[in-house]
Amino acid sequence: MKFKELLQQKSVRPYVMAARFGLEKESQRTTFDGQLATTDHPEVLGNRSYHPYIQTDFSESQMELITPVANSIHEMLRYLAAIHDVALRSMNKHEMLWPLSMPPKLPLKDEDIKIAKLDQFEGILYRRYLAREYGKRKQMVSGIHFNFEYDIELVRQLFSQQTEYETIEEFKNILYMKVSRNYLRYRWLITYLFGASPVSESGYFTEREERPKEPVRSLRNSSFGYKNNENVKVSYESLQHYINDIHRMVENGILSEEKEFYSAVRLRGGKQMADLPKTGIRYIELRNLDLNPFAPLGVDEESLEFIHLFMLYLLWTDEKEAPNDWVATGDFLNEQVALGHPFAQVKLLAEGDRIFAEMDEMIESLGLFRLKKSLEVHRAQLRTPDLTIAGKMWTIIESNSNQELGIIFGKEYQGMAFERPYQLAGFRNMELSTQLFLFDVIQKGVEVELLDEQEQFLKLKHKDHIEYVKNANMTGKDSYIVPLIMENKTVTKKVLADAGFTVPAGDEFDTIERAEQAYIKYSEKAFVIKPKTTNYGLGITIFKDGASLADYTEALNLAFKEDSAVLIEEFLPGTEYRFFVLDDQVRAIMLRVPANVVGDGVRSVEALVAEKNLDPLRGTHHRSPLELIQLGDVERLMLKEQNLLTTSVPEKDQIVYLRENSNVSTGGDSIDVTDNFDESYKQIAIEAVRALGAKICGIDLIVPDKTIKGMKNSRTYGIIEANFNPAMHMHAYPHSGQGRHLTMDVLKMLYPEVFE
């Protein structure tokens, strides 16, 4: 089978780099001084028996992070970054993930290395067997398993260009077997470039064990790492040989079960190997990547992009020996390279040059020119071993120590996860409430798929239970009409008024001319001008003491910029509070103070705003708990009412308000007051949301005096707005007061079974 010719066919070339990827990353939990963690797997991560993203491997301290399948390496690493963030922030605050493949210093006694405390007893029995057969210490090595699948469309196009095989299933098996053999033959290059386990810490080798002369390139990928016993022999000559050999060894007791077979390449199809004859090979698992301590996630995009190119090359290039001899040669060469000194010139320069030359030819033939840079970076390392990962590690270890390297980088990566705890790595471009919700979803082990990232649209799945969520708070628990009611402020007011709630009186205008004609009616009253349907406080102007015709007209223009219809309403005196109601309960109450600065008698309003905006909680586009304060037309109009300009210098301790409306989205400050409110007002909010038919709602109440008991049919309050898409991040990270974890409450409403 000449795959080289098939890959160059016109119909095939558009698909040559199409593939699907998944990744599993193991890491030991340790203390900040590099000692193995003795704590249990974090309870907050829910039940690990079904958790799709965060598991334990052999030991209770060995965490395994698993990405969903992705159509690009970039997408896969985004998920890994998010899962990494969740894992680190869910752990004991005095622990980190050890960034090295070789374990930290291990306890002297085997019984102090704790086997994972699993729910399923079969899993515990299997780990006990491994401990007896191979020793606990070898099991403590960690690494990365890279799952690789050629896109099915690429396989189809290749299949259509040949006549040798009648079914695509048979063809696909031949393809993956060839690639597997080639990978095993040439994996020495991966070990050379990405090997990253040059030395061991005390406790890894027992006193009676043979040990290599350290440093080496990769202890983990040598015979001193974790590998099967010598009597385990599996042929990759064909899929049937592979399956028969493993079945025979299980039947003869050489292997306890199929999954005990450890190799640099595993063939994957169904849930277990017994499915392979029916399903064929769907993807292959590459198991020889060490953790890269210089990459926060243990691996970086450039390395995986090179491996992707390498996988295409393995399909492109022909084998040069009989299958079993070809693989055996690869085993021999890999051992040599793995046990070489990190600074030593590799003895396979000629073969390395040939591989890179053929990869270069492939790039030219298939037009993959963007990958040239990656190829050249790694080609250069053939003759500069000190630039490989193992080489860079040894440069540091030689002057310091392996333990110090692990501690420094482990602490740095743990610190990075807490720099902005309100954001989720990998998804920081999404709206902040969605980021917080995604964190909770991953933490609790609910599967998540991004259906539309720009629209913040998610699909959640736990077992057979599927939910769809938009903006982290719009769910299938609300009927279609509910957000439409709340989107229309006129309809909202009518529904609430009909139900007996106090709402502001006012008028609606669909042209600026008609609105201008109403000036006489409102000119000497306290009133509010606002768009009919927009959220986030956009286009709202409040006049507490009437308004000049010029200011009235300017406010109308601002409102009509945001919507085709505008409301003019009476101004209700009092303090505005946001009640967050979820499933007939008030979960949070927020006092939102309008955007403001406090004078110091020296700096201008403009300078004071610039300083306040330096707060790390402030950002833009709902990616931070608080928004940056602006100095636009609305703010300048507000300053004008106070006889100020942006260049004015307020007196010391003078509070200068830049907005009348108190929305956090327009620069306001958020203050949690949930525990300081009479139940009567909470009940009014709950009943109002119920009248609107909503499960989740942010409802804004004006309360003149919250020390007076609230009554539904009274002026003790007024409802000025109901929000079908209430921001949750401002409750989670308020300017002051207790944070409220509302996104977890939403998840609990959707998946109560996960919290049982």
Exposure of 625 in the CB half-sphere (CA atoms within 13 A): 24
Mean pLDDT of 76-84: 98
Buried b (16+ CB within 10 A) or exposed e, 82-119: bbbbbbbbbbeeebbbbbbbbbbbbeeeeeebbbbebe
Phi, psi for residue 54 in degrees, rounded to 5: -135, 115
Phi, psi for residue 410 in degrees, rounded to 5: -60, -45
Judge whether residue 99 has pLDDT over 80. Answer: yes
pLDDT at position 417: 95
- Give how far the C-alpha of residue 719 lies from the chain's centroid of Cα atoms, to the nearest Å: 38
Kindly provide the residue ranges of all beta strands, DSSP E only, lying in 637-683, ordered along the sequence: 655-657, 669-672
Residues 6+ apart with CB under 8 A from 729: 422, 432, 433, 436, 622, 624, 625
Residues 6+ apart with CB under 8 A from 310: 186, 189, 190, 359
CA–CA distances in Å: residue 184 to residues 46, 319, 322, 586: 38, 11, 13, 60
- Strands 626-627 and 618-619 turn out to be parallel
Q: How confident is the model at residue 532 (pLDDT cuts 50, 70, 90)?
A: confident
Task: Quick: pLDDT tens for 417-469.
Answer: 999 899 999 999 999 999 999 999 999 999 999 999 999 999 999 999 999 99
702 and 709 Cβ atoms separated by less than 8 Å: no
pTM: 0.90
Task: Quick: pLDDT tens for 251-292.
Answer: 999 999 998 999 999 999 977 777 888 889 999 999 999 999
Whether residue 215 has a cis bond before it, omega within 30° of 0: yes
| Three-state SS letters, 15-53 | HCCCEEEEEEEEEEEEECCCEECCCCCCHHHCCCCCCCC
Residue 266 has what DSSP assignment? E
The single-letter code of the amino acid at 423 is: Q
Mean pLDDT of 105-132: 93
Judge whether residue 735 has pLDDT over 90. Answer: no
CA–CA distances in Å: residue 198 to residues 45, 104, 292, 338, 403: 33, 13, 12, 9, 12
Judge whether residue 534 has pLDDT over 70. Answer: no
42 and 55 Cβ atoms separated by less than 8 Å: no
Q: How far apart are CA 412 and CA 396, in angstroms?
A: 16
pLDDT at position 661: 75
Q: How far apart are CA 178 and CA 183, in angstroms?
A: 9
Place of tokens 């071993």: 385
Phi, psi for residue 113 in degrees, rounded to 5: -95, 105
Q: How far apart are CA 195 and CA 354, in angstroms?
A: 21
Task: Quick: pLDDT tens for 657-697.
Answer: 999 877 788 899 999 999 999 999 999 999 999 999 999 99
Place of tokens 């090295």: 100
> What's the CA angle centered on 409, arms 406 and 411, to 5 degrees?
100
pLDDT at position 1: 66
With CA atoms as reference, report the closest residue to 691 among 728, 725, 727, 722: 722
Beta bridge partners of 566: 509, 531
Place of tokens 């021999």: 332
Q: Two tokens at 596?
A: 């403001």
537 and 663 Cβ atoms separated by less than 8 Å: yes
209 and 134 Cβ atoms separated by less than 8 Å: no
Judge whether residue 608 has pLDDT over 90. Answer: yes
Helix (H) or strand (E) run with residue 412 in it: helix 402-417
- Strands 669-672 and 527-531 turn out to be unpaired
With CA atoms as reference, report the closest residue to 311 among 478, 210, 183: 183
The single-letter code of the amino acid at 405 is: L
Beta-carbon neighbour count of residue 465 at 10 Å? 12
pLDDT at position 274: 74
Q: How far apart are CA 378 and CA 648, in angstroms?
A: 59
What is the fold, at CATH topology level, of the domain defined by 505-570? Dna Ligase; domain 1 (3.30.1490)
pLDDT at position 226: 87
What is the fold, at CATH topology level, of the domain defined by 3-417? Creatine Kinase; Chain A, domain 2 (3.30.590)
- Strands 596-598 and 144-150 turn out to be unpaired
207 and 237 Cβ atoms separated by less than 8 Å: no
pLDDT at position 129: 94
Residue 241 has what DSSP assignment? H
Q: How confident is the model at residue 621 (pLDDT cuts 50, 70, 90)?
A: confident
* Annotated domain spans of the chain: 3-417, 432-480, 505-570
Kindly state the percentage of the chain with pLDDT values over 70: 99
Task: Quick: pLDDT tens for 286-341.
Answer: 999 999 999 999 999 999 999 999 999 999 999 999 999 999 999 999 999 999 99
Task: Quick: pLDDT tens for 379-420.
Answer: 999 999 999 999 999 999 999 999 999 999 999 999 999 998
Beta-carbon neighbour count of residue 608 at 10 Å? 22
pLDDT at position 536: 65
Query: In a 10 Å sphere around its CB, with 0-12 CB exposed, 13-18 middle and 19+ buried, how is residue 618 labelled?
Result: middle
Q: How far apart are CA 693 and CA 201, in angstroms?
A: 62
Give the chain's mean pLDDT: 94
With CA atoms as reference, report the closest residue to 717 among 621, 576, 585: 576
Q: What is 441-506 written as a DSSP string?
A: HHHTT-EEEEEETTTTEEEEEETTEEEEEETTTEETTS-THHHHHHH-HHHHHHHHHHTT-----E
Q: How far apart are CA 650 and CA 563, in angstroms?
A: 35
pLDDT at position 170: 94
Phi, psi for residue 659 in degrees, rounded to 5: -145, 150
Place of tokens 């310091």: 400
Question: Among 46-55, 101-110, 674-683, 688-697, where is mean pLDDT lowest?
Answer: 46-55
